[in-house]
Amino acid sequence: MSPPKKILLFEWLTSGGMWQTGDAPSHVCAMQNQGREMLLALAEDFLAGGLEVLLPVDSRLSASMSRQAQLKMIEIGEEECLPEVLINLASESDYVVVIAPESECILSNCLRWLKDFEDRILNPSPEFTELAANKQSVFEYLQSRGFQHSPCGINFGRFQRGGQQIDRFPLPAVLKPIQGAGSEEVVVIEDWDDLDLCLNLLPDQYWLESFVAGTPVSVSVLGSRCGYELLTPTIQRFDQRRRSEGLIGEYVGSEYPIDQVIKKRALKLAGNVVQALPPTLGYFGLDLVVGDSAGQTNAFLIEVNPRLTSSYLSLREIYSENLAMLMLEKTLGPFRPAPERQVKTCTFRSPSL
């Protein structure tokens, strides 16, 4: 019997990336906790699919990680050269998944380190990743392709306040890093008098876009050599306690099932988005806002997330088949027409906050 195929799973915040940035792990950091949950869920699913899983782990977090006997955990210490470690592990692996934030080009840099192993990486391409990670770049690209369902936006630097273009921008608006991950540092601007209070929260370059009312929806996408497959939409839920501070709030989970009208609008918009985007392989996510009242019939694209997203945690509970193995097959396997995916009869909603 031949040995099992190996897959390397790397998640920036828990797999040693914080040694690179000089940050200390925090068990109350929402992004770190989400990253760990995604990593362990993915590891569990690939193990169930018969693969051997290689899991680099920040030595400061090893006690909090799963101790499944089948996992091959590699502790990463401060003295390690992370790019060199990843290259060595990728060289002995058949497949690779990289989960990292887009901010500060972290995800793009990780993919550049592994450029010699592109034929075994289940992520979107580096070119797609760099495009999607920059709010302005992806907005302008989609506009050039005739796609009109993104909120109007402009690049807003720290010292541009008072310019005519800014002062005429309609409120409410949303201010976010031009490169960012999820709802991190996303601020709702209700009044320009409050803008200066927000400037210290964000880096030098922001993306300012129109606020869109409606239901926040996530659609995950699997890219293959023969096109895209859209997975069932879920509703996104955020920590409402931060709204009093003008912040969108941290992502706290999903809600399912979804209203059929909203689902139909979300899938139609997602289909238009992927037709406008450049082709790529791998798993990525779309953040949408869908109007859900008589006066809100439109749907808008808010973000393209060029990586595995937290929605995976919900989708793996919804679908009957192993989504990790499906991702592998769609990305690197032979083409097979997508069947009607079987979903479970289930209902869930993240705890209210």
Q: What letters, b where the CB count within 10 A reaches 16 and e where it falls short, cover 172-183?
A: ebbbbbbbbbbb
Q: Picking from 20-34, 144-158, 180-194, 268-282, which range would have the lowest pLDDT averaged per residue?
A: 180-194
Mark which of 194, 210, 226 sits at the end of a domain.
Answer: 210
Residues 204 and 222 in one domain: no
Residues 107 and 198 in one domain: no
Residues 221 and 316 in one domain: yes
Burial class (CB in 10 A: 0-12, 13-18, 19+), 149: middle
pLDDT band at residue 238 using 50, 70 and 90 as cut-offs: confident
Q: What is the CATH number of the domain that holds 98?
A: 3.40.50.11770
Total structural domains in the chain?
3
Chain-centre distance for alpha carbon 289: 16
Q: Picking from 30-34, 58-62, 114-118, which range would have the lowest pLDDT averaged per residue?
A: 30-34
pLDDT value at residue 196 = 63
pLDDT band at residue 159 using 50, 70 and 90 as cut-offs: very low
Residues 226 and 169 in one domain: no
Q: What is the CATH number of the domain that holds 318?
A: 3.30.470.20
Residues 300 and 289 sit within 8 Å (Cβ to Cβ)? yes
CB atoms within 10 A of CB 286: 25
Range of the domain at 76: 6-121
Burial class (CB in 10 A: 0-12, 13-18, 19+), 351: exposed
pTM, two decimal places: 0.91
Would you say residue 170 lies in a domain? yes
Distance (Å) of CA 14 to CA 17, 31, 109, 353:
7, 10, 17, 26
Residues 108 and 19 sit within 8 Å (Cβ to Cβ)? no
pLDDT value at residue 92 = 97
pLDDT value at residue 26 = 79
Q: What is the CATH number of the domain that holds 174?
A: 3.30.1490.20
Would you say residue 129 lies in a domain? no
Would you say residue 17 lies in a domain? yes
Residues 223 and 345 in one domain: yes
Averaged pLDDT, 296-322: 91
pLDDT band at residue 232 using 50, 70 and 90 as cut-offs: very high
Would you say residue 134 lies in a domain? no
pLDDT value at residue 242 = 58
Residues 223 and 328 in one domain: yes
Residues 114 and 161 in one domain: no
pLDDT value at residue 153 = 81
Residues 294 and 199 in one domain: no
More confident residue, 151 or 301: 301
Would you say residue 103 lies in a domain? yes
Residues 217 and 345 in one domain: yes
Q: Is 67 left (phi over 0), alpha (psi -120 to 50) or beta?
A: alpha
Residues 200 and 235 in one domain: no
Would you say residue 182 lies in a domain? yes
Percent of the chain at pLDDT exceeding 90: 59
